[in-house]
């Protein structure tokens, strides 16, 4: 351990950059706090990951002395397919092993870079203190939604680079999950479905002339099969805020991702502490179930299972035979429906003022030529004749199969204490079904007229100020 005088000497040496543990974690804590306060965006969390991954990559000594580990932000994983064309994915961070050019050759590197692991940063769904012990709950609840994206990036990473193994991190706040992908024998089977534009107007939009922003619907072509990873560590802390050091599971994950390409590391606070660092079996089981559910969603199997369960729970009725369907219009059906919506009203007791009439009314009401009918008020009969109340009391409504009167014979709806339901039904039906349509057509006509008037006013005021005068050019 260097004393203060030795640190001062190193600090004043221009060939050295002295970074103490206290200074490093002061910057790391400030970055974490700033990211937590910037909820819900994920951009400030990039500073946290960059501060960890960049410093760790520098202290690692690769096997090849002319190579170096680099933290590559927005790493593009590109692949040229002879049938599908150029495709790529951009990951938040990619740590690569880059090679310098040999001394005797030109400026090109001695060999292509190798991708060691990718990192995807996700925003938290709740705002909380990142130093609290339960801050990893957000990742535990939301990991399943981000698994398909990290699996697609792993697919393109294995396409872009020729490695047999690829690791991946998903970070959210102060918690992370660590995955391992193995190159399958049939990698082509895990290609993400290509998005095809069915619109015939797309070619016109891509031709010369001004570009127009247009939402183009797309459909997925081909089967979907997710490249399933193996979960190594799940829902653990990145930084141990209590002891002011990096989490032991996070240090183990960094060591696992770089062990095959690094011969040594400079002693620092990035050393994996001694001891057994086995993750929780319960956390691994939860993460593995989320991977299974994500794979089912990608393949559509989960939707099929849900549809099958819904069909068992709610079996559909057998289809009705076509010969039983009566497509003819029956006016009595909507009349009966309108009558059923009317408030029941007892018409047996009527005021005597509304039953005054001729003395011969009783003879007409008791005549065998007149069929019994529903009670009616004096204002609802066209000829002004009145039926006897004693004859009306025992009358029933006509059967539903009887045809209603024609529209020309419909009397005006009488809104009084005593009205005939059969007479009121056609007017109510017209008000319920015909009036809204007429109002809608009238509103559309008014909107069209207003739009036309505004367009004419705009053309008339072109080149003039608000007072109608010509503008000086």
The reply to whether the predicted model has a pTM over 0.95 is no
Please check whether residues 38 and 142 belong to one and the same domain. Answer: yes
**Residue 347 belongs to a domain:** no
Please check whether residues 291 and 336 belong to one and the same domain. Answer: no
Average pLDDT value for the chain: 75
pLDDT at 443: 80
pLDDT in tens, 67-124: 999 999 999 998 877 777 788 899 999 999 999 887 676 788 888 899 999 999 999 8
pLDDT in tens, 433-444: 566 667 777 787
pLDDT in tens, 127-171: 888 988 766 788 888 999 999 999 999 999 999 888 899 999 999
Please check whether residues 297 and 381 belong to one and the same domain. Answer: no
Specify the range with the lowest mean pLDDT, choosing from 59-63, 99-103, 365-369, 438-442. Answer: 365-369
Please check whether residues 336 and 261 belong to one and the same domain. Answer: no
> Of the ranges 321-335, 338-352, 422-436, which is most confident?
422-436
Please check whether residues 260 and 394 belong to one and the same domain. Answer: no
**Residue 62 belongs to a domain:** yes
**Residue 206 belongs to a domain:** no
228-254: average pLDDT: 95
pLDDT at 460: 78
- Banded model confidence at residue 367, pLDDT cuts 50, 70, 90: very low
**Residue 214 belongs to a domain:** no
Please check whether residues 337 and 295 belong to one and the same domain. Answer: no
- Banded model confidence at residue 283, pLDDT cuts 50, 70, 90: very high
346-375: average pLDDT: 45
Is pLDDT above 70 for 359? Answer: no
pLDDT in tens, 162-174: 889 999 999 999 9
**Residue 336 belongs to a domain:** yes
Please check whether residues 305 and 231 belong to one and the same domain. Answer: yes
CA dihedral 408, 410, 415, 416 (to 10 degrees): 130
pLDDT in tens, 17-29: 889 999 999 999 9
Cis ω before 40 (30° cut-off from 0): yes
**Residue 355 belongs to a domain:** no
Strands (E), 141-273: 165-172, 175-182, 194-196, 219-221, 230-237, 239-240, 245-246, 262-265
Q: How far apart are CA 38 and CA 58, in angstroms?
A: 29
Please check whether residues 161 and 31 belong to one and the same domain. Answer: yes
**Residue 354 belongs to a domain:** no
Please give the tally of structural domains in the chain. Answer: 2
pLDDT at 395: 46
Is pLDDT above 50 for 363? Answer: no
188-200: average pLDDT: 67
Please check whether residues 265 and 412 belong to one and the same domain. Answer: no
Is pLDDT above 80 for 450? Answer: yes
Parent domain of 33: 4-195+219-310
Q: Specify whether the CB–CB gap between 57 and 116 falls below 8 A.
A: no
Please check whether residues 263 and 337 belong to one and the same domain. Answer: no
- Please tell me whether residue 155 adopts helix, strand or coil conformation: helix
- Banded model confidence at residue 294, pLDDT cuts 50, 70, 90: very high
Please check whether residues 142 and 19 belong to one and the same domain. Answer: yes
pLDDT at 414: 44
**Residue 107 belongs to a domain:** yes
Please check whether residues 154 and 42 belong to one and the same domain. Answer: yes
CA separation, residue 399 to residues 189, 374, 393, 422, 435 (Å): 68, 12, 17, 11, 27
- Banded model confidence at residue 217, pLDDT cuts 50, 70, 90: very low
């Amino acid at each position: 351990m260097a004393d203060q005088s030795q640190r001062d000497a190193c600090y004043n040496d221009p060939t050295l950059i002295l970074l103490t543990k206290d200074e490093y974690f002061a910057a790391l804590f400030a970055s974490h706090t700033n990211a937590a306060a910037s909820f819900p965006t994920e951009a400030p969390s990039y500073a946290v990951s960059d501060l960890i991954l960049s410093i760790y990559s520098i202290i690692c000594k690769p096997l090849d002395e002319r190579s170096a580990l680099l933290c590559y932000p927005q790493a593009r994983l590109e692949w040229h397919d002879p049938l599908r064309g150029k495709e790529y994915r951009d990951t938040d961070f990619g740590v690569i092993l880059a090679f310098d050019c040999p001394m005797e050759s030109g400026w090109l590197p001695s060999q292509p870079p190798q991708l060691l692991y990718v990192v995807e940063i996700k925003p938290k769904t709740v705002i909380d203190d990142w130093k609290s012990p339960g801050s990893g709950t957000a990742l535990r609840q939301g990991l399943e939604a981000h698994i398909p994206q990290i699996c697609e990036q792993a697919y393109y990473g294995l396409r872009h680079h020729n490695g047999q193994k690829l690791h991946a991190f998903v970070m959210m706040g102060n918690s992370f999950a660590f995955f391992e992908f193995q190159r399958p024998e049939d990698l082509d089977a895990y290609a993400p479905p290509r998005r095809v534009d069915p619109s015939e107007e797309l070619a016109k939009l891509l031709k010369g002339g001004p570009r127009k922003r247009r939402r183009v619907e797309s459909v997925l072509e081909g089967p979907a099969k997710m490249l399933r990873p193996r979960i190594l560590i799940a829902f653990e802390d990145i930084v141990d805020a209590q002891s002011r050091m990096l989490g032991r599971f996070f240090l183990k994950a960094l060591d696992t991702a770089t062990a095959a390409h690094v011969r040594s590391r400079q002693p620092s606070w990035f050393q994996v502490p001694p001891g057994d660092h086995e993750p929780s079996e319960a956390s691994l089981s939860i993460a593995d179930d989320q991977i299974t559910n994500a794979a089912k969603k990608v393949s559509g199997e989960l939707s099929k299972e849900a549809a099958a369960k819904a069909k068992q729970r709610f079996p559909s009725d057998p289809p009705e035979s076509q010969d039983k369907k009566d497509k003819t219009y029956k006016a009595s059906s909507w009349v009966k429906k309108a009558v059923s919506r009317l408030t029941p009203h007892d018409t047996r007791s009527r005021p005597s003022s509304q039953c005054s009439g001729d003395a011969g009314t009783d003879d007409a009401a008791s005549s065998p030529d007149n069929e019994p009918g529903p009670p009616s008020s004096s204002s609802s009969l066209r000829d002004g004749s009145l039926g006897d109340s004693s004859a009306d009391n025992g009358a029933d409504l006509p059967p539903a199969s009887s045809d209603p009167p024609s529209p020309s014979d419909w009397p005006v709806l009488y809104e009084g204490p005593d009205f005939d339901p059969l007479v009121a039904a056609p007017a109510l039906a017209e008000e319920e079904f015909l009036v809204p349509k007429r109002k809608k057509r009238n509103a559309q006509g008014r909107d069209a007229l207003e739009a036309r008037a505004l367009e004419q006013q705009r053309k008339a005021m072109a080149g003039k100020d608000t007072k109608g005068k010509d503008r000086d050019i």
